[in-house]
């Protein structure tokens, strides 16, 4: 049983990987669907400024690795921010860069229970799908001699304009797109195992990379 306490923090953001889903109960006994995310420490590896790079941004290094698993260029880049080696990098846009320092660690301790967050990830790819499944279209009649059950139907507008407009909703690849869930929040934090328990379902399958940012971003 987890009790949600709402607080406000100045968390930068963190990268983590989806472990799976389960459910927990709040103090009233209501079941809450949650997603478990493994979020090891991230390190600030570069600070980009408006004067030098054209925009203010913080580069975060994540996915700790051994020196043999990265190139010499990556090792040289990371040597400016600390002694740990990371294999992956991501950016978080910020308004002011003065409050951040090169080499600082971002951990799950920077979040708080009840904090509103938004999570970005790649959804599960489901291959080629028809109109009904891909766009939630209605099917045609199933009786009275109808042969139009799951057909797309007419896609044009006659001789005028005499073509199909770009962006027409038709059959095609479903999923495997970048999605952002902006209604999640932190339900529980495990500081020892670097675990975040977040409300609701999040994009992707097991081990999918997720970018977790506080709602203020």
Low-confidence stretches of the chain (pLDDT < 70) are 1-11, 217
pLDDT given for residue 216 in this prediction: 73
Q: What is the pLDDT of residue 4?
A: 39
DSSP secondary structure letter of residue 124: P
Per-residue pLDDT tens over the stretch 104-161: 999 999 999 999 999 999 999 999 999 999 999 999 999 999 999 999 988 888 888 8
The CATH number of the domain covering residues in 1-39+109-124+170-217 = 2.40.30.10
Show me where the domains of the chain are located. Answer: 1-39+109-124+170-217, 42-106
| pLDDT confidence of residue 158 | 85
State the pTM of this model.
Answer: 0.83
Residue 161 preceded by cis peptide, ω within 30: yes
> 42-106 belongs to which CATH class?
alpha beta
What does the alpha-carbon distance between residue 29 and residue 17 come to, in Å, rounded to a whole number? 28
Torsion sign, CA atoms 63, 65, 67, 68: negative
| Contacts of range 2-5, beta carbons closer than 8 Å, 24 or more positions apart | 2/26, 2/113, 2/187, 2/188, 2/197, 3/27, 3/113, 4/113, 4/114, 4/185, 4/187, 5/112, 5/113, 5/114
Q: What is the pLDDT of residue 122?
A: 97
């Amino acid at each position: 049983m987890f009790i949600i306490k709402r607080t406000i923090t100045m968390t930068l953001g963190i990268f983590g990987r989806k472990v799976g889903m389960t459910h927990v109960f709040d103090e009233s006994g209501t079941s809450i669907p949650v997603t478990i995310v493994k979020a090891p420490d991230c390190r600030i590896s570069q600070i980009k400024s408006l004067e030098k790079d054209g925009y203010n941004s913080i580069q975060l290094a994540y996915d700790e690795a051994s020196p043999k698993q990265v190139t010499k260029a990556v090792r040289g880049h990371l040597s400016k921010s600390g002694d740990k080696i990371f294999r992956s990098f991501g950016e978080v846009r910020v308004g002011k860069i003065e409050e951040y320092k090169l080499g600082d660690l971002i951990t799950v301790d920077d979040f708080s229970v009840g904090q509103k967050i938004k999570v970005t990830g790649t959804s599960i790819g489901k291959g080629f799908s028809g109109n009904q499944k891909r766009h939630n279209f209605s099917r045609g009649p199933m009786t009275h001699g109808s042969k139009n059950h799951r057909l797309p139907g007419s896609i044009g507008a006659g001789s005028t304009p005499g073509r199909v407009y770009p962006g027409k909703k038709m059959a095609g690849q479903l999923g495997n797109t970048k999605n952002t869930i902006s209604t999640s929040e932190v339900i529980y934090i495990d500081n020892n195992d670097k675990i975040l328990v977040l409300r609701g379902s999040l994009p992707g399958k097991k081990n999918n990379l997720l970018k977790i940012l506080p709602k203020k971003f």
